[in-house]
Structure 1
Amino acid sequence: MPPWPCFPFLKQLTLRFVSISEDVFLGMLSSCHALESLYICKFYDVGCLRVSSPSLRSLGIGRLYLEKEEELIIEDTPFLERLLLCSREVKGVIRIIRAPKLEIFGPLWCCISRIEIESLVFQELIPASLSHSICTVKVLALEYSAPCLNVVLDVIMCFPFLEKLYVTWDKFLKPGMKSVRRYDPLNPIRCFQSHFKILVLNSYAGGEQDVDLARFFILNAKVLKAITFLVKGVIDKVWVDDHCRLLEVETRASRDAKIEFRRESGYRGLNAHDLSIDDPFSVSYGVYRGNIV
């Protein structure tokens, strides 16, 4: 008998406050032949945490006690569709070796020292090179200390089939981002041409940088369907009219794009187990209206 439990029919698994060896953890996962969703949080003494599963579709990562150079390795997950980082305490190094169906990813922030997805490498959320890209990811969430257009564009250029983007800025996050590239207009953003449809800007304050970032998407994303501003503070008609003018919505690249301003409702957390929701970020950021394409 193996030294780990076997659950051949288990579909959902949550592990919290666990001290477990790497071998036992991998052995247990290999024995869960029907496992579809896994949430792990507050693992102790792991050093390097490897995840391999032939059936896993959704992986949620809560607070992990990994130091700066310790690794979370997604080693072999042929059916993994979503990787949700449910806590800002996820630090260290994230390596995704094999996840050929990964579509939903994030939120990513610069506290993660290094992210590797096959040959694509981010150092504190800055791509080491723009010569590599990942074509499977369709939904991405990013978090920064402040709005910066070049920082966001640097990342999304690595995801040419991106359809939905959530961007949050929080002044309590580590500033960073000193070595970001400036956007080159001669290097087009591929997802803007035929894929990018939804943008959600969380904690939108309406400052100059906020407007610059949003306006770039409005004027350049050719198939944009909707942009939602989740606003801190009071919204009234005068404020909305003024921002529509600043954003140049009348000259938007996609005439079908809907512009919506809503009060920020607070972050609800991410659910790694509910696979009935096409986009878990739409729920966690308070913009869920059913299955949004």
Structure 2
Amino acid sequence: MNMEPATGKRPRTTVRSRGRRTSIADRISDLPDVILGEIISLLSIKDAARTQALASRWRHLWRTASLNLDFRGLPANHNGVLLDIILAAHEGLVHRLCLPARYLSDQAAAMEAWIQSPALDKLQELDFYLLGLPNTCVDLQSPPASIFRFSSTLRVATISMCSLLDYPVETLRFPQLRKFALVAVNISEDSLCHVINTCCPALECLLLRTNFNVHGVRINSPTLKSVGIHASVAELTIENAPSLERLLCLKMHMKMRVSVVSAPRLETLGYISHHEWGSKIMYGSTVIEGLCVDSLTTMVRTVKILAIHMNSNLDMTIVLGYYKGFQAQVDFVTFFVLNARSLESIQLVVDSRNYSREFVSGQREKLQIEKRASRGPNNKLVVQIVQCLLNVYIGKH
């Protein structure tokens, strides 16, 4: 594509300043065609088409620009017809395609024709979006095999409201896929683990939401940086994820167990909630059950953000075992001291070998307890540093 600015006379805008008329050159139109085409490709389909009205030079750019083709940007009564016309007449390619997930079953023939269009040969983003989540997987159909013809070029994909069978999944490979979401999909555990750990060697972001027939998920990925899960999964195990930075269980169902074996770069973990009775997050020797943390000795080495979900009106107590006064532990507790307005008490359990009056005095100063008290009677907080000997509390200060 030509990188040089197009020659010829540029449109100019005339403005009035202090009684004088001043002509200003159209600098945007001076940009090379390749940059203007990139600008058009970032716009919605409606706004991209409107660029033809800017100046005569923009007309040929629209005809050949890579399109962001989102079904939601087309008039509701004629979106299917317009999509046919655009795919047939447009001279350029489509880099992003967003279609309603229900069309995988309701409009299977039309979907097949759209997907086979040459305009989609180098598709980079595919999104089958949902307007509402189904309650069961009974009516979910297998998608047409043609939706996987973009596997070599896709970088972002959302697959929703369908049933993925084992055989076609086992043959898939997405060498460039960076972001992948499975929403309300019926898929087996083996197939899901194959998708995550084998067929997406460049995968960085993964979202699992309301998927069916999956009891446990095991992740072994050298590239994954972010995992979000909102599904009825009983066990999630991060066996080996050297690049993982964020692990967010957006909805922990009852008795869900999350185990992190190896994730040396993990910085964000959660969320934990008092609502999810019986659910556990295990990170090395650290076990978090509900809002009870047995120990932070392993987790605080890397985790900087611990996401917590709770009722803002809840009167609560935090109990932190095996407290040694490390700076990471001090920072963690100080955050609650200064910011948790509904918090009534904090209890820090200290091993008898580390316990002394000097230790208690120094920790109370480091935790800025007096700063919290200075804010007034409505910010009253009781901080207890207790001595533990053979798991029996024998002192309070």
Q: TM-score, normalised by structure 2?
A: 0.43
Distance 1:249 1:112, change over 3 A: farther
Tell me how far 1:26 sits from its aligned partner: 6.4
Question: Which residue does the alignment assign to 1:230?
Answer: 309
Paired residue secondary structure (1:102)? coil
Distance 1:72 1:230, change over 3 A: farther
Alpha-carbon distance between aligned partners in 1 of 2:173 and 2:220, rounded to the nearest angstrom: 19
After TM superposition, the structure 1 stretch with the greater mean CA deviation from structure 2, 31-40 or 69-78, is 69-78
Question: Which residue does the alignment assign to 1:125?
Answer: 216
1:160 corresponds to 2:242: yes
Tell me how far 1:138 sits from its aligned partner: 1.2
Greater relative CO (CA pairs within 8 A, separation 6+) = 1
Tell me how far 1:58 sits from its aligned partner: 1.1
Question: Which residue does the alignment assign to 1:35?
Answer: 123
Among residues 161, 184, 187, which one is paired with 1:63 in the alignment?
161
Tell me how far 1:88 sits from its aligned partner: 3.0
Corresponding letter in the other structure for 2:187: K
Structure 2: tracts of 5 or more residues without a match: 1-86, 131-139, 282-286, 342-397
Alpha-carbon distance between aligned partners in 2 of 1:57 and 1:63, rounded to the nearest angstrom: 20
Alpha-carbon distance between aligned partners in 2 of 1:261 and 1:24, rounded to the nearest angstrom: 56
Q: State how many pairs are aligned.
A: 221
Among residues 166, 169, 194, which one is paired with 2:252 in the alignment?
169
Alpha-carbon distance between aligned partners in 2 of 1:261 and 1:57, rounded to the nearest angstrom: 41
Paired residue secondary structure (2:180)? strand
- Counterparts of 1:50-199 in structure 2, within 5 Å, are 50=148, 52-64=150-162, 66=163, 72=169, 75-85=172-182, 87-92=183-188, 93-94=191-192, 95-96=194-195, 98-107=199-208, 111-113=212-214, 124-127=215-218, 133-143=220-230, 145=232, 151-152=235-236, 155-167=237-249, 168-171=251-254, 189-191=261-263, 194-199=264-269
Deviations 1:4-44 (A, max 9, x none): x577432221122131599867644x742553321125885
Structure 1: tracts of 5 or more residues without a match: 114-123, 263-293
Paired residue secondary structure (1:88)? strand
Tell me how far 1:189 sits from its aligned partner: 2.8
Alpha-carbon distance between aligned partners in 1 of 2:114 and 2:295, rounded to the nearest angstrom: 43
Distance 1:144 1:31, change over 3 A: closer
Alpha-carbon distance between aligned partners in 2 of 1:248 and 1:90, rounded to the nearest angstrom: 43
Distance 1:251 1:54, change over 3 A: farther
Paired residue secondary structure (2:271)? strand
Question: Which residue does the alignment assign to 2:32?
Answer: none
Structure with the larger helix share: 2
Q: TM-score, normalised by structure 1?
A: 0.56
Paired residue secondary structure (1:83)? strand
Fraction of identical pairs, as percent: 13
Corresponding letter in the other structure for 1:101: A
Among residues 196, 200, 205, which one is paired with 2:275 in the alignment?
205
Corresponding letter in the other structure for 2:95: K
Paired residue secondary structure (1:50)? helix
**RMSD over aligned Cα atoms:** 4.6
Contact 1:20 1:46 in 2 (8 A): no
Contact 2:143 2:164 in 1 (8 A): no
Distance 1:20 1:158, change over 3 A: farther
Tell me how far 1:234 sits from its aligned partner: 4.0
Tell me how far 1:89 sits from its aligned partner: 4.1
